[in-house]
Amino acid sequence: MDDLKFLSYEHTHGMAFGAVVGEEIVDLSDVGPSLRAVLATGPLDNLRAVVAKRKPTVRLDHVVLHQVVPDATRIICVGKNYRDHATEMGGEVPKNPNLFIRTAQSLVGHKQSIVCPAASLQFDYEGELAVIIGKGGRHISKDKALTHVAGYACFMDGSLRDFQKHSFTAGKNFDSSGACGPWLVPASMIPNPQVLKLVTRVNGIVMQNASTAEMIYTVPDIIAYISAFTHLEPGDVIATGTPAGVAAGRNPPPWLKPGDRVEVEIEGIGTLSNTVIAEVV
């Protein structure tokens, strides 16, 4: 059970959550109504004994995977958190974490389609490490921050650069423009989130290749900063920023288009994969 992972999925009886064991899923829907609800009851490691006593109920490739926390009340994102990315975007390195919010409906799960909006001609990819809060709190100190983390996931912060120029909120929140998944890896399996290799591929070509060690603001920095102004809650998702290599930083920019496949792979977590489709209007 050292590689235990948790996910939200849909099968014959609607939405559910469970644990991944090999290529199968152990259903845990009777433990709580959702992964977010269960996070509020205590550490996910408490479920190891439950999972060990159960048999898998369905194969992983027979379900629809949803974003890790489908009912997340807040998805807080950090912009320009890698120096090289800040430089390629033509801006200064932020003197504090640069935050914005994404809506839950702007995200899909692993292997679900992300939508290329008809209203934009500049759809960009951004691979990121996502942090899922397990223990809520306010005014969390940096040295205690990681004890509030339930686990980690991959994040694709799809961005509409032309819309960002006049509305940052719109440019980051087109429906189904981003993704989070494929699952939550418990924090106990990743003791140091600042030493992970992050690679983003588009159609198999490496576009971003970095380490989370290159973050300007670390995961503890970010949690301390956010909790200074708001009470973090179990199930909150924090996207920690993207490294250099995005389309907007290249000449010419290789904007995403229908048919493209985007993969965000993070060491110790796995690969989040999504295919781009055109919006139907």
How far lies 265's CA from each of 10, 61, 93, 110, in Å?
Answer: 23, 19, 25, 12
Dihedral of CA 198/107/190/26: which sign? negative
Q: Is the pLDDT of residue 43 over 90?
A: no
| 145 vs 197: CA distance, rounded Å | 21
Q: Is the pLDDT of residue 157 over 90?
A: yes
- What are 92-121's pLDDT values in tens digits? 888 999 999 999 999 999 999 999 999 999
% residues pLDDT > 70 (the chain): 99
Query: What does the pLDDT read at residue 180?
Result: 98
Going from N- to C-terminal start, the domains of the chain cover 5-65, 75-278
Question: The tokens of 8 are what?
Answer: 């939200």
**What is the torsion angle, in degrees rounded to the nearest 10, for the CA atoms of residue 198, residue 274, residue 276 and residue 165?**
-40
DSSP letter (8 states) at residue 173: -
Averaged pLDDT for residues 62-86: 95
**Pairing between β-strand 58-59 and β-strand 237-239 as defined by DSSP bridges:** unpaired
Nearest to 139 by CA among 54, 255, 223, 19: 223
Q: Is the pLDDT of residue 71 over 80?
A: yes
| 154 vs 91: CA distance, rounded Å | 25
CATH topology for 75-278 is Fumarylacetoacetate hydrolase; domain 2 (3.90.850)
CB burial of residue 48 (10 Å; 0-12, 13-18, 19+): middle
Q: Is the pLDDT of residue 169 over 60?
A: yes
Q: Is the pLDDT of residue 159 over 60?
A: yes
**Pairing between β-strand 205-211 and β-strand 197-202 as defined by DSSP bridges:** antiparallel
- pLDDT band per the 50, 70, 90 thresholds, residue 27: very high
- What are 31-41's pLDDT values in tens digits? 988 999 999 99
- b/e code 69-99 from CB counts within 10 Å (16+ = b): bbebebbbbbbbbbeebbebeeeeebeebbe
